Structure 1
Amino acid sequence: MQDIRWKALWLGLATVFICLVTWVATDAITALLTFSAMVLLYLISHLYWLHQLLKWFRKPELNTMPVGSGIWEDVFSAIYYEKRRNNRSQAQISSALDRFRHAASALPDGVVLLNGNDLIEWCNPTAEHQLGLSMRQDAGQPISYLVRPIDFIQYLQAQNYSEPIKLKSWRTTGATLEIQLVPFGANQKLLISRDISQMEKLETMRRDFIANVSHELRTPLTVVGGFLETLTDMEGAVPESTRGYFAMMQEQTGRMRRLIEDLLTLSQLENSPEAPQDSEIDLSTLLNMLLHEGISLSQGKHDISLAPVEPGLFIKGATEELHSALGNLVSNAVRYTPAGGTIKLRLFLRGTDVLFSVQDTGIGIEQQHIDRLTERFYRVDRSRSRETGGTGLGLSIVKHILTRHQGHLEIESEAGKGSTFTVVLPQSRLIRKPVTQPTAAA
């Protein structure tokens, strides 16, 4: 840029010098005509090189770059070096893009690149096979025109992509796809599809095995437990020296029965993801029932209380399932709270949610265990679970029931200070009914 300015300055000074010499040698008119002619030639030169530049821009190749003269030599030189640098950058970008496409093509999962309007920009061969796409024909088409299941359309429009969705394949009989959208960049999305057919088959086999084994074990255990109870109750049938062993057998048989019942309940919940038909549940009646069950289980060892419940509140849901889930939390509080402890039941609203909490002053749980409490068979302390008769499935059952009711479980706990388990249900399930006041006698 400095060279161009100096050349322009020297050219201007030379023009002025020539005009002054002409003026001295002839007259002012001749000097003015000479100046005008030089300016005209200068403009014509610029127009010529502008035309050459425009002509080159129509087909910008380095080997056809004009050389130029004077100031334009520097202009063309600067454009030449910038074009060469740009070509190198484009070559690097193209090479990186080719490497990405080759890597993505080798992935076992389907990958589809969507722009801000959910139009297909690129997809790998796996996605073409799994989703029925064609990169040659479908580039630029809306993904919703080609992947038509209603669950996917709702997932795409909801814009909540934290969890994947499962779809039955519309191309391969018996196949199941897991699809997740991953937002990135300027409203772009990456659609990832995975064939989980084998995983689904294994999961189905696992559920069927647990359900069948549990069902087959329930009958012989019932028979064994019945005979043990009969022998224990019969006068003289069991010597006093062995009566303690019979009591232990009855206790362990009962524990196995509870485990099998929980396994069957969990299996039933997993095999029927849709909740039964909703009914209107009187919350005041349900919570008072839970309170009496907790007091009965405690046998006077704990101070159990229920905060006043607003009358006329009902919740839509499966009565037996919600009773089981909330009752599980109450019984856990009783089992894991030492004698003399306090247990508080409370129903309240928070924003758009309905909450039921069970707060206890029990032994508490360390933070490292909280995230895993709802896993099946997970126990913080196995010896403690044996003492309390826990099966390790209660909170897993609670989680499944709440998921079927669009709810979730929140857990707050501190070792040695107690725990608070809170059931969170959407307020859309809450029903308020007017409470009829009794009329006074005339």
Structure 2
Amino acid sequence: MQPLIEQPQFLLEPKSLYIFENQPIQLECKAIRTRQIFFNCDNKWVPENEHIKSTEINDRGVNVIITKIQLTVEQVESNAYKCFCQAWSATGGTLKSRTATIEIAYLDKIFEWEPLKTDSVIGKSVELRCRPPSGNPYPKVTWLKDNRPVEINRNGRFILSNENSLLIAQVRKIDAGNYTCVASNIAGSYSSEPAELIVHDNRGWSDWQPFSECKGIPCSTGRQRRVRTCLNPPTVTNRPSCDGEHMQERECPVPCLQDSPKVQDVPISEWSTCVGSPCQIGKQKRVRLCSKQTPCNTEEIEERDCSVPCTNSNTSNGIYSDWTNWSTCRLPECRSSRTRQCLQEPCRDYLIETRSCKENFCSSTFVSSSTLNAVVYSSAGIGVLIFLLLAILFVIICCRRRQRLPTKK
């Protein structure tokens, strides 16, 4: 008959803990029906002289073996440091406890995001952002208002978001003050710089101004607008402090232009190209060709609104002065010109125009520069050719004279 093997039983097993500087931790195991308990940390048996052993008798009169060890941050090499204890009974039974993980606790000093000065209007909501510094375990965030704890309540006006920002609903005048974000864990506690919350009275909008003049192509549907002003002061973060839009637009009928008094038998030019910003209302002109034979009883230049076509460019052409009078005909091209000035950039059209002069306006005796150049180059070519012929003739004469000289014997 085989002897009965009695198995140990743990009453207390080691727990996972955080460790940090100057604060050693203690792991403890308790077991019954055992003779001894040893700890194993980081896959190594802890030396026997580092074990703190004791015994006690429980309420049932059973002998309890207690074993403890102490660890310092210098012994823990990484956050994967693990320990367990193992018990042996007098009859050869053995039992291993659960494994405890020992992690190094820390807390940085620098916040990832500190709350900033902000403002709000009475009755609005406001958010004070805070991102705590990195730490292990993850730090807990609390808030202070004027160095007093803020009561966070999900059913109240002060709510802590999942990102640790402080949300204040239905802002009141008494909510104004300095708010501080506090991050803490077992390694310590750090506070952000105070951020001021300014609360303004809600004065709302001014009355709407009258609608503007109806803009558009005559005898068609145009648009007109009206605006109003937010009476609340500008916010620190440039966020709108009034609900709603500051401008309204509506369609409107554009009145037709009154016909000008007709002038019989006076020719009139076509309407010019519509000038102005793309997709906006521009101007176009036409001119009456008045003369002594056909005098004008009305203005020589007519002007009207027009719709400027839209383009892919966001910039429009510039503004120009009127053209000057045509100049007198100039030689040698026999052309006249006129100019204008750029009054506002960008100017992309020509600032100078030229045209051919009519017959008998230019002298026929003028020799153009191209003709003069042809004469010069022809004369130069002839001179070079004569020089070459004279050189060849000189060489031939020299050769013949040399042949006539008697040779020495």
TM-score (norm 2): 0.20
Q: Judging by fraction of residues, say which structure has more strand.
A: 2
Q: Judging by fraction of residues, say which structure has more helix.
A: 1
TM-score (norm 1): 0.19
